[in-house]
A and B are shown apart, each in its own frame.
Chain A
Amino acid sequence: MPRPDRRENDQIRALHSILGLLNRVDGSAQFSAGSTSVYCGVYGPVDVKVYDEKLDRAVIEVKFRPAAGVSGTKDRWVESAVRGTFEREILAQMHPRTLIQINIQAREDDGSADAAAINATTMALVDAGVPLRDMVAAASCAVLADGAAVVDPTLEEAAAAQSVHTFAFAGSDIGRAGSGGASGSTSPVYVDSRGDFSVADYDRCYDLCLRSAQRVLAFMRTAIEGKIAKESQISVV
């Protein structure tokens, strides 16, 4: 059955990003997939209250604000998901007794917003020069009522779906999978599968998301490398 926007089942929406669009924070990025768009601004490493500081590593704080309305428990959930994902990927031991604050603002939600938040955060952290072990790319997939698995579902598709799955992978893992490794050997950094599904559904979505994450990672890398190439050409002197 054709999708409302006529995409293939394994086709993600057009990706778009802007790096360094905010000038008051240390690093920022806007990440969009189709109409879903998320901003992320990163401060860090900065001063931390003595009460909160950790002696051997940086404290990582995530704040998420929805596109509309007051911040609530839903947003605490997204914050905990993002913080959990990046707590290891950020090399926090390099900056003890400091704070790395990640601020995420949802601009528009047309499905797969959690994945967009994770992707925007990766790009903003890179823009800020926060040391990372690896880049993280996320993708979503939905299993529809007729059993078809579609990647990067829109809000409409996700609401009518039997189950929705979001996965995030580290760059090195994606690279390994790409070069012929079995998907069983990959280790996702984040998994959230919800609804009514079978193990087979889960496996199908896992593979689809791994491949989508590959595309997202390539996109992010190209955007970042392009910006560096442009700016370092100018700073030859």
Chain B
Amino acid sequence: MDVDMESQDTRDIASRIVTPGSVITNDTAFMRGHGTFAERTTIYSSVAGAVERINKLVSVRPLKQRYSGEIGDIIVGRITEVASKRWRVDVNSRQDGILLLSSINLPGGIQRRKSESDELQMRTFFAEGDLVFAEVQSYFADGALSLHTRSLQYGKLRNGTFVTVFPQLVPRSRSHFHTLPCGVDIVLGVNGYIWVSKHVPASKVEENSELIYSDKNEFISDDERETIARIANCIHLLNRLYVKITDTSIIFAYEASLTHAVKDLLTREIAIDLAHNVKTRLEQQS
């Protein structure tokens, strides 16, 4: 039961669905990727999913998997613990990520040196429950991710709402911070954590670096709140119907959703309808 090379298209939904223990191929020409294991010359599937083939690499992508970080990933995390000279961050992975005190921007300019008083006042920067926008820098010996926010675009998140989606639906791309035409900023963490917030001009942030760790939200009008809620619900419905989450798909979903009330976006029929709408537009575009 070899995978048919000629007609195999990696986007083809007719690609074989396998369960753990199924034989994928006996052909030794293939290399095995994620979701498979080999015994002698046979490649078996170790998870349930669709077989994917890219040239000679055969892998199986399961529906659900925990996020496993890679260096350079842009993620959103939530501080769970303040420890000595570091913070523990929940990044939706099998282990908490670590944000070292030496990996953050200190107010007063990037050149400022870390002082002893900084170590004693760590909660003035990040406290438990805060959301942080960071990048994966490296790994620790036990596999935990080491994060950093050493760029003005990273740091504490405010003025918005939090949405969780399946990590597989957020593709890695050049930019994970987008300003949508409707006046809302979104941060798409590759780990499945997303932040939807009021648009704040970048210049305002740079002006006053003392405020980068402020816990005070800006004033958000009712209209802005409704737009934020609408975008959040659009992301929920894209997640529910397993559509990839990118700025394009969110904009399409938003535009299609304008005819419905914000809370109706969570009902099943409307969600399916809108998802189909988005998929059609995305196909047309590509």
Contacts and interface: CB of A to CB of B under 8 A. Distances in A.
Interface of A is mostly: mixed
A151 B96 CA distance: 47
A88 interface: no
Nearest to B280: A237
A152 to B, nearest CB: 23
Contacts of A229: 17
A167 B65 CA distance: 30
B142 interface: yes
A134 B20 contact: yes
Given A27-B64, A127-B64, A228-B49, A132 B20 contact: yes
Interface string B30-55: 00000101000000101111100000
B183 interface: no
Given A233-B13, A235-B244, A126 B95 contact: no
A76 interface: no
B21 interface: yes
Nearest to B23: A172
Contacts, number: 103
Contacts of B242: 231-232, 234-235
B163 to A, nearest CB: 14
Interface in B92-122: 94-96
Contact of A26 (B49, B64, B282): B64
A46 B279 CA distance: 34
Contact of B21 (A46, A97, A132): A132
B149 interface: no
Interface in A168-198: 170-172
A81 interface: no
A15 interface: no
A122 B95 CA distance: 24
A204 interface: no
Contacts of A44: 94
Interface stretch (A105-113, A154-162, A208-216, A219-227): A219-227
Contacts of A172: 21
B104 to A, nearest CB: 23
B19 interface: yes
B273 to A, nearest CB: 13
Counting contact residues on chain A (CB < 8 A from B), the size range is 35 or more
B47 A133 contact: no
B18 to A, nearest CB: 8
Interface string B48-87: 1110000000000011111000000000000000000000
Contact of B47 (A131, A220, A231): A131
A132 B49 CA distance: 12
Given A132-B46, A132-B47, A232-B13, A225 B19 contact: yes
A78 interface: no
Contacts of B204: none
A235 B37 contact: no
Nearest to A233: B13
B20 A225 contact: no
A91 B47 CA distance: 10
Contact of B50 (A94, A130, A132, A232): A232
B43 to A, nearest CB: 13
Contacts of A135: 19-21
A128 B11 CA distance: 23
A23 B80 CA distance: 21
A32 interface: no
Interface of A: 20, 26-27, 44-47, 91, 94-95, 97-98, 126-135, 170-172, 220-221, 224-225, 227-229, 231-237
Given A46-B94, A94-B37, A97-B142, 12 more contacts: A91-B46, A126-B19, A127-B64, A131-B20, A170-B21, A225-B48, A228-B49, A231-B242, A232-B242, A234-B241, A234-B242, A237-B244
Top 5 A-B residue pairs of the complex, sorted by shortest distance between their CB atoms: A134-B21, A131-B46, A132-B20, A129-B62, A235-B242
8 contacts: A44-B94, A129-B62, A129-B66, A133-B21, A133-B37, A171-B20, A228-B50, A236-B11
